[in-house]
Structure 1
Amino acid sequence: MKWNTIQWLFVAGLLFCSFMKAPAIKNNERNNQFREPDIKTGADQTELYVPYLRGKRVAVMANPTSIIGKKHLVDSLKSLGIHIVKVFGPEHGFRGNASAGAKVKDETDPATGIPIISLYGSKHKPSKEDMADVDVLVYDLQDVGVRFYTNINALARLMEACAENNKEMLILDRPNPNGYLIDGPVLDMKYKSGIGMFPIPMSHGLTVAEFAQMANGEGWLANKEKCRLKIIKVTHYNHAMPYTLPVKPSPNLNTQQAVLLYPSTCMFEGTYINLGRGTQFPFTVLGSPELKGKYTFHFTPVSIKGMAETPLFMNQVCYGLDLRNYDTEKLRKSGKINLQWIMELYKASPHKEKFFDSKLSNQMGKIENLIGSGLFRQQIIEGASEATIRASWEPGLSNYKKMREKYLLYP
């Protein structure tokens, strides 16, 4: 059958209309669509560092997030013939079976027979003796991009030990799941503590390798030492790119929702509010028995071995906010830590004198140490607006953002 001109024009018109109705893929969406599957962590690129490690005495800082594909880094390197003389263990331990804040003892890894030296127990930094039989130290821990997540503190101490003993550090870099977020006050160093050691904002927008370069460049190591670094970068990664972690970074950050809410909800560690510790969904719910009648949502914290043995308000019904289905894309679009939740729960609290009482809450620490500012507590108490609170973070936050640019490995 031959088609006439009118029929051909009709078909052409239909095709044109369907093309016009199809949603356009923006450049950044196209990049994410095709590049995210191509992300390779530093550890995954064994061809770039395994030959370098051969014949060397290797120490490794690792935990369950230290993986090549689906296999643990240490197990993989050992099977590839790399001579691992010891493993340094961070908070939660090498195999991740210790609770948050719990001291971890030295031990021997039953799977490999490799000695494990804890840096979250009687000491926090390798000794000269620990480093004597090491040629190179490999660092591979997944970070989540906030100041009070202690991995970067461990990294800095390891860098100091390497610098003091003339050893090189090999960093196998990983994406920051909150890499888009640079927010919060820069730490006022008079509030320096184990949950905040460096003058960076609450959410710093760096990978661990970028932080290491910053610590070197800004003279933050002891005696302004500089550590010799060898970095294996992540491929096809940028800071704006969403990234889902393949392994939970710690026992209480057990979902991607928790990881993305963590910069906003961890500040409740400095309050008389339970933030989900003692449940299977920490950092995604907030509540207190004192909020009964103010909220209908409720949960009951219990003792959970390896997560929270003695959570705040244990075995008591807590009422408050359920953020498990909160659209975290709102945080990404705003580029800000959420301050409304802490403002709301303080306002709803019937006993406001307890709200910031760290002795009562017995959680991570004082709100000043978490936030990094001596103003925040009083600002919340006085009902200051979010705009006023954010204004008090300047010019420190803007100055940090400019300084940060010098150390970026990724756009």
Structure 2
Amino acid sequence: MNLDFKIKNLLLICLIFLGVFNKYYSQTQDKDLFKTGADQPELYIPLLKGKTVGIVTNQTGLMKDRTHLVDYLVKNGIKIQSIFAPEHGFRGNADAGETVKNGVDAKTGIPIISLYGNNKKPKPEQLKGIDVVVFDIQDVGVRFYTYISTLTYLMEAGAENNVEIMVLDRPNPHDGYTDGPVLRKKWKSFVGMHEVPVVYGLTIGEYGKMVNGEKWLKNGVQAKYTLIPMQNYHKKQRYPMSDKPSPNLPNDKAINLYPSLCFFEGVQVSVGRGTDLPFQVYGSPWTKSLPYQFTPKPNYGAKDPFLNGKLCYGEDLSRYPEDLRELNLEWVIRAYESYKNPNQDFFLKNLWFDTLAGTDELRKQIIAHKPVSEIKSSWKKGLEDYEKIRVKYIVYKD
């Protein structure tokens, strides 16, 4: 009897020990797990309770269980006054450059206000009554991708109208390195608002900190800026995307190639819009010496693609094996050297190429047949000067 009692006590002690161990182990494991800002509601829900909220987001604003952030906030009693939609719209199905319309979210009934088209910066009347605007969008870490410009205008409007800006941070698929020409003020536009390189090596949350800290907003104003950082994020590691960030960046391959291939948007060459491989192929009717063939046609992500219906000759990069940690200029230079059209210059007349590059120097270097090594050497000082600014705003291990 006494022995049974001792055994029972021993078993009870073991069960208690196992329970404590499991709890400690799960907590330890949880600390080691990667989490986006959105997947840490314990950090931001208390800050939003009792406040009127606006939210800038799109189809990428998903939590780990695929719940959209808007739905989660509504479910948890957060009062959302307006959803602000960036380029490609709230549901992410608008073409690049297509005007995003105002509307109402069918699921929640919340008004949607476009921040793309004529209204890129929230107006005072659109922010009236709002205490804080939450920004949660998957960015790709490239200067001419417009979500950082939307964040800039949002911060500017927030500073001018005493509205707090809260960024829920997400991974940058081109983090941990910087490359490309640094933008010069003359070429400032919505696809390049600041003097940073093409690949700037910061998460969108870190980028917002830099814009605020360097007083790059209009008239040097500064926003009340709150960053909800990621947990266990490392800048040189690559993380899966919650959803495709835009219609023509459908997968990791396209995102990997995007910084290098986007320059084709400024020349007489298709970058695969209107095919099953956008930003994974390139070609033109006038580069017939190149081996791959495709014909752009209207599809979900491109209602009227460049070179629509024309047979193009180029390269298929969809099986390109490298995780690029630098810009590859070989493709655009190869296309330039292969281009034979007596009626049209390789570069578009509007010089959109210069706007994307942030300078006219790259175009002139390509025309002058400068080697890649010389072109990249010309970026060195600009990158070094930018790095002195960048390091001040790094939140995560580089």
TM-score normalised by length of structure 2: 0.89
Query: How far off its partner does 1:384 sit?
Result: 0.2
The residue number in structure 2 matching 1:403 is: 389
Q: Deviations over 1:125-169 (max 9, x none)?
A: 111111111011100011000000000000010001111111111
Equivalent residues of 1:66, 1:142 under 8 A apart: yes
Q: Deviations over 1:47-104 (max 9, x none)?
A: 1111221111000001000111201110111111111111111001111121111011
Q: State the aligned residue count.
A: 367
The residue number in structure 2 matching 1:59 is: 54
The correspondence for 1:298, drawn from 293, 300, 306, is 293
The residue number in structure 1 matching 2:45 is: 50
The answer as to 2:188 corresponding to 1:192 is yes
The residue number in structure 2 matching 1:323 is: 317
The residue number in structure 1 matching 2:330 is: 340
Equivalent residues of 1:177, 1:260 under 8 A apart: yes
Query: How far off its partner does 1:37 sit?
Result: 8.1
Query: How far off its partner does 1:289 sit?
Result: 1.3
The answer as to 2:93 corresponding to 1:97 is yes
The answer as to 2:170 corresponding to 1:174 is yes
Query: Tell me, which stretches of 5 or more residues in structure 1 are unaligned?
Result: 1-33, 360-364
Query: How far off its partner does 1:222 sit?
Result: 0.8
The answer as to 2:34 corresponding to 1:39 is yes
Task: Indicate the SS of the match to 2:380.
Answer: coil
Q: Which amino acid aligns with 1:52?
A: L
Return the alpha-carbon distance in structure 1 between the equivalents of residues 150 and 322 of structure 2: 29
Q: Which amino acid aligns with 2:129?
A: D
Return the alpha-carbon distance in structure 2 between the equivalents of residues 281 and 169 of structure 1: 36
The correspondence for 1:284, drawn from 280, 289, 293, is 280
Q: Which amino acid aligns with 2:41?
A: T
Task: Indicate the SS of the match to 2:354.
Answer: helix
Percent of matched pairs sharing the same residue: 46
The residue number in structure 2 matching 1:356 is: 347
Q: Which amino acid aligns with 2:116?
A: Y
Q: Deviations over 1:372-394 (max 9, x none)?
A: 12111111111101121112213
The correspondence for 1:163, drawn from 155, 159, 165, is 159
Return the alpha-carbon distance in structure 1 between the equivalents of residues 335 and 40 of structure 2: 46
The answer as to 2:388 corresponding to 1:378 is no
Q: Which amino acid aligns with 2:202?
A: L
Return the alpha-carbon distance in structure 2 between the equivalents of residues 175 and 108 of structure 1: 29
Runs of 4 or more, structure 1, over 6 Å off, are 34-37
Return the alpha-carbon distance in structure 2 between the equivalents of residues 325 and 404 of structure 1: 33
The correspondence for 1:269, drawn from 258, 265, 270, is 265
Return the alpha-carbon distance in structure 2 between the equivalents of residues 139 and 312 of structure 1: 32
The answer as to 2:285 corresponding to 1:314 is no
C-alpha RMSD over aligned residues: 1.6
Query: Tell me, which stretches of 5 or more residues in structure 2 are unaligned?
Result: 1-28
5 Å-filtered alignment, 1:90-239, equals 90-239=86-235
Query: How far off its partner does 1:106 sit?
Result: 0.8
Q: Which amino acid aligns with 1:324?
A: S
Equivalent residues of 1:36, 1:237 under 8 A apart: no
Distance 1:77 1:284, change over 3 A: same
Q: Which amino acid aligns with 1:318?
A: C
Q: Which amino acid aligns with 1:64?
A: Q
Return the alpha-carbon distance in structure 2 between the equivalents of residues 326 and 286 of structure 1: 13
